[in-house]
Amino acid sequence: MSKAPRCLPADEPQIKNTSSRRDFARSGALVAAAYAVSPDLFALARLSPSANEASPIRFGVASYTFRNFTRAQMIGFLKQLNVLALNAKDVKDHLPTDAQQEAAALADYAAVAIRPHAAGTIYFPKDEDADIRNKFDYCKRAGIAVIVAGDPAPETLPRIEKFVKEYDIRFAIHNHGPEDKLWHSPLDVLKAVKNMDPRMGCCIDVGHTARAGTDVVQSIKEAGPRLFNLHIKDLTSFQNKESQVAVGEGNMPVREIFQALIAMKYNGFVDLEYEIHPDDPMSGVIASFAYMRGVLAGLGYPSRS
């Protein structure tokens, strides 16, 4: 006898069931690969908070992953993933810049123990105190520890540095690959901030870094204490921006990335930024976390969120 379809509550996120059999098989293969690294994979996906605290890697999600979904829907997805750390962006209603709307978003997150730890990508097109202060105030209200910045011009960095010192918020410049005329590689960021306040640093996007022809693992080592955030994704071709896949399906050296982060005692977050299938991202997101947790287990660590 077939079961009647389950009716979802109005506030439960609903995702279009558009995954093909090939996509399902692909996700299953990713999980199987990670499971081969750790037979306890599915237990790891439901780790208790006390177990999470033992891991040297902290996972989060870049809210851009869920850019086509509301805050309420995204909260539901994060609860399903058992990931409570959020790199929030002013997209949809995830973390609005309006103070009252921002407060409402923060209340929603606090109610389910989700913590926005970073904000971005935030853009700084103006070399003006008022514009910069407005963005630092936005992050201070949210208790944000790291601003992920998209496009600050090198000549604006001394002015931004003053606000970093005043607000005690770290400023992480996000590299955007070969298309970015300013910051295509983390190495460009490191050259620009090397003599500045230690709270001036980088957010390494591993996909854009690889596409820029920069060794991802070596760039992590070179960034050292100036690495404040890491966006993880995977590509089947480091020459093709459109080749993004679930983490574990491409050529990104995930194990070596984690080993480098662990060796340098990195205390920031590894935020999944899954940019494909924006209307139906969860199968790829789930497969990505399953694979990453399996890699960590293979290194002898449980994962934590």
Q: Is residue 196 part of a domain?
A: yes
Q: Is the pLDDT of residue 28 over 90?
A: no
Position 303 scores a pLDDT of 64
Window from 11-25, 60-74, 178-192 with minimum mean pLDDT: 11-25
By C-alpha distance, which of 247, 280, 239 is closest to 27?
Answer: 247
Instruction: Find where tokens 């896949």 sit.
Output: 245
**C-alpha span between 36 and 31 (Å, rounded):** 9
Residue 289 lies in a domain: no
Over 90: is that where the pLDDT of 43 sits? no
- Domain of 102, in residue numbers: 58-245+263-281
* Residue at 252 is within a domain: no
Total domains in the fold of the chain: 1
pTM over 0.95: no
CA distances to 88, 89, 118 from 63, in Å: 5, 6, 10
First and final CA of the chain: distance in angstroms?
A: 40
Q: Is residue 299 part of a domain?
A: no
**How confident is the prediction for the chain on average, in pLDDT?**
87
CATH number for the domain spanning 107: value is 3.20.20.150
3-state secondary structure of 149: strand
Query: Cα 141 to the chain's mean position, in Å?
Result: 21
| pLDDT for 36 beyond 50 | no
Lowest mean pLDDT among 36-45, 75-84, 126-135, 142-151: 36-45
| Within-domain flag for 74 | yes
Q: How far is CA 31 from CA 27, 40, 63, 172, in A?
A: 6, 12, 23, 32
Asked if residues 177 and 214 have their Cβ atoms less than 8 Å apart, the reply is no
Evaluate whether residue 40 is within a structural domain.
no
| 19 domain residue, yes or no | no
